[in-house]
């Protein structure tokens, strides 16, 4: 059976949910004294942001072609809640949507956005990136990253962008259902590597799957997000001899 772990470096799996809400006493952000270069010093529990050896995001410069097991997406339309938590726009997903890979099933918890993209491919950042965050029954995390390039408007984002909460910690519930499958590119080839959360506490042991093909959104959609949240991308982190695997075809 194909496996995604043939060449991957083993690491303990994260057990915490991938949450952006600033519930702790330590304030962090993307610039100044609370910016990414200072995260590890803001609180003891953020120490991995400095000391970790498998941090995300990464610049995918080279990869090893491998016979990777493909991701089986089982996404269903679901009612959603859109939250402006001050760091990003996060869409909390309900229902039975999931992915299966490596013999494991991961439930879709939420997806959220970054501008510019956090991961890069061949040194190139994209205009935005959406992270679809999953968790299995063992508490292990898997994140599917989809690059977003300015071009044609994205109809899937239209109702989300209409409902973007303008105030921090504000939440809105959409009356219409959204299918996360509509945020996936037609091509399902991907890069795989071991990484971390891209925000404090930067917990490691996260399985990352970055799709090779981007999806589009309009320049106006990018500008609306940045106008609300600002630029919210952590700089790329050292690969530290990690293997980055890629699908063979």
Rg (CA), the chain: 17
> Helix, strand or coil for residue 27?
coil
> Helix, strand or coil for residue 220?
helix
Is 198 within 8 Å of 118 (Cβ atoms)? yes
Is 245 within 8 Å of 66 (Cβ atoms)? yes
Give catalytic status of residue 134 as yes or no: no
How many Cα atoms within 13 Å fall on the side-chain side of residue 77? 6
Q: Which of 67, 95, 68 is nearest to 79 (CA)?
A: 95
Q: Which of 165, 185, 196 is nearest to 40 (CA)?
A: 196
Rounded to 5 degrees, φ, ψ at 215 are: -110, 165
Is 204 within 8 Å of 12 (Cβ atoms)? yes
Which one from 74, 87, 131, 134 is the annotated catalytic residue?
Answer: 87
For the CA atoms of 206, 77, 129, 167, what is the dihedral angle to 10 degrees?
A: -100
> Helix, strand or coil for residue 222?
helix
- DSSP line for 29-64: -SSGGGSGGGHHHH-GGGTHHHH-SS-S--EE---E
Q: Which residues are marked as active site?
A: 87
């Amino acid at each position: 059976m194909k496996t995604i772990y043939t060449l991957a470096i083993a690491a303990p799996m994260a057990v915490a949910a991938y949450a952006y809400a600033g519930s702790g006493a330590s304030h962090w952000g993307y610039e100044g004294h609370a910016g990414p270069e200072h995260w590890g010093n803001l609180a003891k529990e953020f120490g991995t942001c400095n000391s970790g050896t498998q941090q995300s995001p990464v610049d995918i410069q080279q990869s090893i072609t491998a016979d990777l097991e493909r991701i089986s997406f089982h996404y269903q339309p679901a009612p959603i809640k859109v939250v402006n938590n001050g760091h990003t726009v996060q869409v909390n997903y309900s229902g039975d949507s999931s992915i299966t890979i490596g013999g494991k099933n991961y439930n879709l918890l939420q997806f959220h956005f970054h501008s510019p993209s956090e991961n890069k491919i061949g040194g190139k950042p994209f205009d935005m990136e959406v992270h679809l965050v999953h968790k299995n029954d063992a508490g292990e995390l898997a994140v599917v990253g989809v690059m977003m390039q300015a071009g044609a408007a994205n109809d899937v984002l239209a109702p989300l962008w209409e409902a973007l909460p303008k105030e921090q910690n504000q939440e809105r519930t959409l009356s219409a259902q959204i299918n996360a499958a509509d945020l996936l590119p037609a091509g399902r080839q991907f890069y795989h590597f071991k990484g971390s959360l891209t925000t404090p506490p930067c917990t490691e042991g996260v399985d990352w799957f970055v799709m090779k093909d981007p999806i589009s959104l309009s320049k106006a959609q990018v500008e609306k997000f940045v106008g609300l949240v600002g630029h919210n991308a952590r700089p790329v982190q050292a690969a530290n001899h990690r293997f980055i695997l890629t699908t063979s075809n």
